[in-house]
Amino acid sequence: MAKIIVVTSGKGGVGKTTTSASFATGLAKRGHKTVVIDFDVGLRNLDLIMGCERRVVYDFVNVIQGEASLVQALIKDKRVDTLNILPASQTRDKDALTQAGVERVLNELRETHDYIICDSPAGIETGAIMALYYADEAIVVTNPEVSSVRDSDRILGILQAKSKRALEGADPIKEHLLITRYDPTRVHHGEMLSIEDITDLLGISLIGVIPESQSVLQASNSGIPVVLDDKSDSGLAYQDVVARFLGEDRQMRFVEMEKKGFLKRLFGT
């Protein structure tokens, strides 16, 4: 039975899609059959970050409305052959997602995949609720700033109240905290919240810290998930996240100011 993981945050621009792309690619690279679904209907980005925007023929909404089959809509990744992408529609809005339709698509995907990654849109409206509704686990992406932490807190409340697991009284969704755009130097100068501040406020377990890095932007622009970049701090940090998710014990890297300087010299980023 496939696991459904939602990547969510409440706030926009914190790195949900970057995380979805890298996390899904990381899982697939380790041999797990993985599909990543873009729930951001109307503002599709995942296909850009995955570098497959020109291969989109049918999308998630087409499948939900029965205009195309899942096989037609799924895009097979060119770099990792165990990875599929289900893009969102750019020309529709979030109301095109129906609960029954989403459930049908997820059930069909469950039969052929190990992991289903749902890339949630920002906000707490229909699209975001649909993305988290069927989730078994959640990765809550947070930037080290107060407004992002507050929105993550809100979305955690929604996970505990409005998800299928919550409504049916099943085991609660397993929540993981992922801090992105972390800059140890600015934390040191008191300009950003520290890891301790954030974990203390949100009270969920930390699955990783992704350092602020130019390589993320470069990777996004060139359509290559940053996790595939072995020379980037961020790429390595995402690899750690995938390893921790799969149960490996890995130390947090790139979270100390001095250490970062050392690694920077080492990796030359």
Binding site for other proteins (CB under 8 A): 150-151, 153-154, 156-158, 160-161, 201, 203
Q: Which among 144, 160, 163, 141 is positioned nearest to 152, based on CA atoms?
A: 141
Nearer to other proteins, 158 or 252 (CB): 158
| Distance (Å, whole) CA 36 – CA 75 | 10
Residue with tokens 């993550």: 152
Cα gap 229→245, rounded to integer Å: 19
Phi/psi zone of residue 257: left (φ > 0), alpha (ψ -120 to 50 degrees), beta?
alpha
Q: Is 213 helix (H, G, I), strand (E, B) or coil?
A: coil
Give, for 5, the enclosing helix (H) or strand (E).
strand 3-8
Closest listed residue to residue 11, CA positions, set 173, 146, 161: 146
Q: Closer to other proteins at the Cβ: 13 or 157?
A: 157
- In the complex, the smallest distance separating the C-beta of residue 125 from other proteins, rounded to whole angstroms, is 13
Q: Kind of pairing, strands 3-8 and 115-119?
A: parallel
| Contact (CB, 8 A) for 233 and 239 | no
Q: Residue 144: name the closest of 74, 199, 95 by CA.
A: 199
Which residue, 175 or 233, is less far from other proteins as judged by CB?
175
- Nearer residue to other proteins within complex by CB, 175 or 240: 175
CB of 149 to other proteins, least distance (A): 9
Least separation, in Å, of the C-beta of 153 and other proteins? 4
Minimum distance, C-beta of residue 248 to other proteins, in the bound complex (Å): 27
| Closest to other proteins by CB, 129 or 224 | 129
Retrieve residue 261's tokens: 């300087």
| 55 vs 174 by CB, closer to other proteins | 174
- Our CB check for other proteins shows the closer of 104 and 164 to be 164
Beta carbon of residue 160, minimum distance to other proteins (angstroms, whole number): 7
Which tokens belong to 199? Answer: 């974990």
CB of 105 to other proteins, least distance (A): 29
Is residue 85 within 8 Å of residue 47, measured between CB atoms? yes
- Shortest gap between Cβ of 244 and other proteins (angstroms)? 22
Shortest distance, position 269 Cβ to other proteins, whole Å: 35
Q: Which is nearer to other proteins, 102 or 140 (CB)?
A: 140
Rounded CA separation 19/13 (Å): 11
Q: What's the DSSP call for residue 226?
A: G
The length of the chain in residues reads 269
